[in-house]
Chains A and B, each alone.
Chain A
C-alpha cells in the first residue's frame, strides 16, 4: 500500500509541475487541466490537490501569488520556481528513460 501511495503522490507532484510550467495557474484550473489532459483517466481529488500544492510550496518547488481571476475575485496562482523547473526536467528525463526501457521489454 505504502509504496503505491508514494508513487501516486510523486506522480501527482510531477503532473502539477507540468501543468503550471507554461503559465501560473490557480488550483481550480490545475484540477481541470489534469482531468482534461489525462482524458479523465486520472481523477484528482481536490482533497489531495491542495495539500500537495501547499507542501510543494513549502519545498520551494512552487511559488504562489494572489491575482485577479475570471470571476473578478482574488485567486491564488501557482507558478514554478527555479527549483521546481529543475525538478520537472529531472522527472521528465527519468520518466522517459524508464518508459523507454519498459517499452523495449514489452515490445520484445
Chain B
C-alpha cells in the first residue's frame, strides 16, 4: 500500500525533474521525423540534399509549424501541470481522508475540537457582522449623523434638542442636506375595535426625506401636516399593516383612533423601516411651530438626524455646529441657549449614536474567541504531533524515496486543511445554531438582533478562519519530520522508545500555552460573573419580588380632564385591591429600574442657582398613587409618606429621594422646605430611599414625588400614562388576566401594555451584561475543557512513551506512589508554568473589561485567585488519570515489549 504510493510519487518526481523545455522537445521531435523521411527518400535514389528538402517541404511552412508547436506545447504543459496539481491534491485529500478513517478516534476529537473553536468564532463574528458591519437599512447610511446637545454642568453628555434649536439649525447650518427630528415612544391605536398599544414615534416631516425613505403605499407627512393644529395624520409600519389591517390597500385615507384622536392614515412604510431598533409601528407628525422660537427653548426632547451634504466630513459638520454656538450666544440669552461652554452641540456618526458603544464589548468577545481558537489549534497540533511521531517511519520512507520536503509539506497541509475544513463546516453549523439559541433566550442581549444570522460574509469569514487554522496546526508535525532526522529514524528501526525531543518539547509548550490562555479567559469570565452577581445584588430601593406591572395610557379624547384621569385610577385601584391574591396596589408614572430622564427645571425656595452649586433641575418627576410605599416596599428615611388625607389637604405636599435631599439640602433637613415644579409650591414632607431609575448599574438621579390624588386637584394635572404596581401573595403572572378583565370592564377601548413581573423587567434591563457574561463564561468553559483535554492527551502520550522507563523504575523497586508522584510532578510543572504566564497575561488584559464590570475591579483578587485555582484542580485531574495508568505498568511486559 505505502510502497505503491511511493513508487508513484517518485516517478512523478523524476518526471518533473527531467522535464525537457518545449523548444528543445519540438526541435528534437521534428528533427527525428525529417531525418526519418529524408532517409526514406534517399532509399528511392534521391540525393541527400534533395531528399531533405522534399521532407521539409511536406511540413509546408516549417518555421511556422515549429513556432505553432512551441506555443501549443507551452499551453499543453501548463494545462497538464495544473491537471497534475489538482490530481495530486485530490490524491492528498483522499490520502488524508483515508488516514482519518483509519484513526476515527483522532479524527472525531480533532474535528470536534476545531468545530468548538471555529464555531465560537462564527457565533461572535455573526454578531459583529449584524451589529457593526452591516450598513443601517437607510439610503447612504454613512452620510447620516446624529446631532445631540450636552449640559456639562449637569453631567448630561448626550441630551436632546429643543424645537427652536431644531428650526434654527435647519435654517442656519451650511453642512447638512437635510435635518429631521424624531422621538420614540408608545401609542394606543384602535383597529377593528381592538385597542393596541404599540411602539411609536413622532417625527418631523423632514425626517423621512433625510433618511432617504418614501412610503411603500401612500405618502409621508407634508410640511403643513407637521404644524400645530393640523388635521391628525399617521403612518403605519408594514408589520402593523399586515397584522392589524390585513394588508388592505384601502387603509390609505382611512381614519383610526390613535391615542383617542381620529387620525387619517396617509401611508404605509416599507418593511423593516425603523429607528433605534424600537420596532416603530405608528409614525405621527411632531406638530411643532417654527415660529415659536422663544417659549419652548428649554423643552429638549428631540433626537436629530441629519444628512451630510456631498463631501462634507463629520469634522466639518462639527466645526459648523461650533460656529453656530457663537451665533446663538449672540442672539439669545438664558440657560438654554446653545453655547460652547454650557450647552454645546455635537455631531456623531448616526450608527454609533443609536447603537450605543457596543464596539468595545464586541471586540472583547472577539478577543476571547480568538483565544478559544488558539487553544483548539494547540490541541489539534498536539494530536497531529503525537500522531506524526507514530507515523515518522512512514514519512521517513517517503522522504528517502524522493518525496521532496515541499511535497511533504503539501501533504501535511492538505491533511491540516481537510481537518480544518471539516471542523469549519461543523463549526459553522454549531456556531450558528448555538447563537440562535442564545439570542432566543436573551433577545435583548445585543442591538439589531434581527440582522444577526448566516450570510455570505459569515460563511467567508468562517472559511477564512478554517484555512488559517489549518495552516497554523497543519505544519506542526514538521517540527518532527525534518530532513535531518530521516536517517536516524530509519536506522533506529522505528523503535518506539526513540525520543523526538523536538516534538516533545513542542507538545509541552503547547500545553503551557493553552493552560495560560485558559487562565486568562477563566479569570475574565470570573470577573464578569462577579460583576453580574453584584448587579443582581444591587439594592434597588424597592422590593421587586411578587410585583406585577402593566402600563395604561388614557387618551385625552375619552378622559378630557385630570379629574377624569384621577377617577379612572382611583376606581381601577380600588377594584384591583379587592382581587383575591392582591396584597396592595398603586399606580406610578415611570417604571423603575430604567426609564427616560426627565431633567426638568425646578425651583427651590430660598435658593439661588450658583455657578458651583447644582443646577436647579431634577432628573425624575414621579407621580404616585395611594399605598405606594407599602406596595413598592420603599424605605422612608425621614418624615412621612403620603396619606389619604393629603389628597384633600390644601397645601400641596411632596416627597423627595435621598439623592435630591443630599444634593440640594446638604447638612440640613429638607422637611418643611418648598419646591416649585410648576405653578404651585410644594412642601417636602418626607425623604425616601433612592430607587433605581437610570439603570441598575447607575447611581440613582434626583427624584421628587407628587401625590396623584392631590396633584390632580391642586395643580389640575394628571399623568395620563401610568404603570400599575400590584403586589401579590402568589405568582404575579397569575393575576395578569383578572386585572386585564377588570380594566376591560372599566374601559373596553383601553389598551394595556407591558404586562410583566417586575423581575422580568429587571432581567430585560440587565440583558446586555447577562449576554456578555453568558458568552464569556461559555467560551471560558470551552477553553477549560479543551485545555483539560490537551493536558490529558499530552500526559497520556508521555506515559506511553515512558512506559519502558517506568517499567525499569518499577523493576528497580519504585512503588506506585512514587511513579504517580513522578508523572504528576511532570504535569504540575507544565500546568504551573501555564498558570503563572496566564495570571500575568490576565493582569495585563482584564483592564479591557473595566467598562463591562460593575463594582468589581479589573484585578479583583477573588477572581485572580479562584480562576487559576480552579484551573489547577482541573489540570491535576487531567494529569491524575494518566498518572494512575502509569502505576499500573507491568514492568515485565513493558521491558519485553520492544
- List residues of A whose CB falls within 8 A of some B CB: 26-28, 31, 45-47, 50-51, 54-55, 57-58, 60, 66, 69, 71, 73-76
Asked if A54 contacts B73 (CB within 8 A), the reply is yes
Asked if A71 contacts B61 (CB within 8 A), the reply is no
Asked if B29 contacts A47 (CB within 8 A), the reply is no
Q: How far is the CB of B582 from chain A (nearest CB, A)?
A: 86
Of B74-82, B180-188, B391-399, B832-840, the one with at least 4 CB within 8 A of chain A:
B74-82
Among A31, A58, A71, A73, the one with the most B-chain Cβ atoms within 10 Å of its Cβ is A58
Bound form: Cα–Cα A6–B97 in Å: 44
Asked if B29 contacts A55 (CB within 8 A), the reply is no
Nearest 6 pairs between A and B by C-beta?
A58-B76, A47-B60, A54-B72, A28-B36, A28-B33, A46-B59
Asked if A51 contacts B29 (CB within 8 A), the reply is no
Q: Chain A residues with Cβ under 8 A from B35's Cβ?
A: 71, 73
Asked if A28 contacts B37 (CB within 8 A), the reply is yes
Per DSSP, chain B at the interface is helix
Closest to B22 in A: A54
Among A50, A55, A73, A75, the one with the most B-chain Cβ atoms within 10 Å of its Cβ is A50
Asked if A46 contacts B58 (CB within 8 A), the reply is yes
Q: Chain B residues with Cβ under 8 A from A50's Cβ?
A: 29-30, 65, 69
Q: Chain A residues with Cβ under 8 A from B65's Cβ?
A: 46-47, 50-51
Among A26, A28, A31, the one with the most B-chain Cβ atoms within 10 Å of its Cβ is A28
Closest to A70 in B: B36
- Asked whether B68 is an interface residue with its Cβ less than 8 Å from the other chain, the reply is yes
Asked if B32 contacts A55 (CB within 8 A), the reply is no
Q: How far is the CB of B799 from chain A (nearest CB, A)?
A: 51
Q: Chain A residues with Cβ under 8 A from B72's Cβ?
A: 51, 54-55, 58
B677-717 to A contact mask, C-beta < 8 Å, 1/0:
00000000000000000000000000000000000000000
Bound form: Cα–Cα A36–B624 in Å: 114
Known: A26-B32, A28-B32, A57-B76. A45 touches B58 (CB 8 A): yes
Known: A51-B68, A58-B72. A75 touches B80 (CB 8 A): no
Bound form: Cα–Cα A46–B39 in Å: 16
Q: Which of B20, B33, B59, B79 contacts A58 (CB 8 A)?
A: B79
Q: Chain B residues with Cβ under 8 A from A45's Cβ?
A: 58-60
Q: Chain B residues with Cβ under 8 A from A71's Cβ?
A: 32, 35-36, 39
Q: Chain B residues with Cβ under 8 A from A26's Cβ?
A: 29, 32-33
Known: A46-B58, A71-B36. A55 touches B30 (CB 8 A): no
Q: Chain A residues with Cβ under 8 A from B28's Cβ?
A: 74, 76
Pull 17 A–B residue pairs with CB atoms less than 8 Å apart, ordered by A: A31-B33, A46-B59, A46-B65, A47-B59, A50-B69, A51-B65, A51-B68, A51-B69, A54-B76, A57-B76, A58-B80, A71-B32, A71-B39, A73-B32, A73-B35, A74-B32, A76-B25
Q: How far is the CB of A70 from chain B (nearest CB, A)?
A: 8
B50-63 to A contact mask, C-beta < 8 Å, 1/0:
00000000111100
Q: Chain A residues with Cβ under 8 A from B58's Cβ?
A: 45-47
Bound form: Cα–Cα A44–B73 in Å: 20
Interface residues of B in 229-258 (CB under 8 A from A): none
Bound form: Cα–Cα A58–B81 in Å: 10
- Asked whether B83 is an interface residue with its Cβ less than 8 Å from the other chain, the reply is yes
Asked if B36 contacts A58 (CB within 8 A), the reply is no
Bound form: Cα–Cα A74–B35 in Å: 12
Asked if B75 contacts A58 (CB within 8 A), the reply is yes
Other A-B pairs beyond A26-B33, A50-B30, 12, CB < 8 Å: A26-B32, A27-B33, A28-B37, A45-B60, A46-B33, A47-B59, A50-B65, A54-B73, A55-B72, A60-B80, A74-B28, A75-B32
Asked if A57 contacts B80 (CB within 8 A), the reply is yes
Q: Chain B residues with Cβ under 8 A from A46's Cβ?
A: 33, 58-60, 65
Bound form: Cα–Cα A55–B30 in Å: 16
Q: Chain A residues with Cβ under 8 A from B73's Cβ?
A: 54
Closest to A56 in B: B76
Q: Chain B residues with Cβ under 8 A from A27's Cβ?
A: 29, 32-33
Q: Chain B residues with Cβ under 8 A from A51's Cβ?
A: 65, 68-69, 72
Q: Chain B residues with Cβ under 8 A from A54's Cβ?
A: 69, 72-73, 76
Bound form: Cα–Cα A11–B73 in Å: 22
Q: Chain A residues with Cβ under 8 A from B79's Cβ?
A: 58
Q: Chain B residues with Cβ under 8 A from A69's Cβ?
A: 32
Among B33, B37, B68, the one with the most A-chain Cβ atoms within 10 Å of its Cβ is B33
Closest to A27 in B: B33
Asked if B29 contacts A76 (CB within 8 A), the reply is yes
Bound form: Cα–Cα A58–B75 in Å: 8
B415-449 to A contact mask, C-beta < 8 Å, 1/0:
00000000000000000000000000000000000
Asked if B29 contacts A75 (CB within 8 A), the reply is yes
Bound form: Cα–Cα A82–B75 in Å: 22
Bound form: Cα–Cα A55–B73 in Å: 8
Bound form: Cα–Cα A45–B37 in Å: 13
Bound form: Cα–Cα A51–B32 in Å: 16
Known: A51-B69, A51-B72, A54-B69. A60 touches B83 (CB 8 A): yes
B15-41 to A contact mask, C-beta < 8 Å, 1/0:
000001000010011101101110100
Q: Chain B residues with Cβ under 8 A from A66's Cβ?
A: 20
Bound form: Cα–Cα A45–B69 in Å: 14
Bound form: Cα–Cα A66–B59 in Å: 22
Bound form: Cα–Cα A45–B58 in Å: 7
Q: Chain B residues with Cβ under 8 A from A60's Cβ?
A: 80, 83
Closest to A52 in B: B72
Q: How far is the CB of A74 from chain B (nearest CB, A)?
A: 6
Q: Chain B residues with Cβ under 8 A from A55's Cβ?
A: 72, 76
Closest to B76 in A: A58
Q: How far is the CB of A30 from chain B (nearest CB, A)?
A: 10
Bound form: Cα–Cα A31–B36 in Å: 12
Q: How far is the CB of A23 from chain B (nearest CB, A)?
A: 17
Asked if A47 contacts B32 (CB within 8 A), the reply is no
Q: Chain B residues with Cβ under 8 A from A57's Cβ?
A: 76, 80
Closest to A31 in B: B33
Closest to A55 in B: B72
Bound form: Cα–Cα A45–B65 in Å: 11
Q: How far is the CB of B852 from chain A (nearest CB, A)?
A: 61
Closest to B26 in A: A50
Q: How far is the CB of A41 from chain B (nearest CB, A)?
A: 17
Bound form: Cα–Cα A26–B58 in Å: 17
Closest to B32 in A: A75
Bound form: Cα–Cα A74–B64 in Å: 23
Q: Chain A residues with Cβ under 8 A from B60's Cβ?
A: 45-47
Interface residues of B in 67-121 (CB under 8 A from A): 68-69, 72-73, 75-76, 79-80, 83
Among A46, A57, A74, the one with the most B-chain Cβ atoms within 10 Å of its Cβ is A46
Q: Chain A residues with Cβ under 8 A from B32's Cβ?
A: 26-28, 69, 71, 73-76
Bound form: Cα–Cα A28–B31 in Å: 11
Bound form: Cα–Cα A105–B30 in Å: 45
Bound form: Cα–Cα A46–B37 in Å: 11
Bound form: Cα–Cα A28–B76 in Å: 21
Closest to B35 in A: A71
Bound form: Cα–Cα A45–B61 in Å: 11
Q: Chain A residues with Cβ under 8 A from B37's Cβ?
A: 28
Bound form: Cα–Cα A28–B35 in Å: 10
Q: How far is the CB of B770 from chain A (nearest CB, A)?
A: 61
Closest to B70 in A: A54
Q: How far is the CB of B24 from chain A (nearest CB, A)?
A: 11
Q: Chain B residues with Cβ under 8 A from A31's Cβ?
A: 33
Bound form: Cα–Cα A79–B72 in Å: 19
Among A51, A54, A66, the one with the most B-chain Cβ atoms within 10 Å of its Cβ is A54
Bound form: Cα–Cα A46–B56 in Å: 9
Closest to B58 in A: A46
Q: How far is the CB of B204 from chain A (nearest CB, A)?
A: 69
Q: How far is the CB of A15 from chain B (nearest CB, A)?
A: 18
Q: How far is the CB of A98 from chain B (nearest CB, A)?
A: 30
Among B30, B36, B69, the one with the most A-chain Cβ atoms within 10 Å of its Cβ is B36
Bound form: Cα–Cα A29–B304 in Å: 88
Bound form: Cα–Cα A56–B68 in Å: 15
Q: Chain B residues with Cβ under 8 A from A76's Cβ?
A: 25, 28-29, 32
Bound form: Cα–Cα A26–B33 in Å: 9
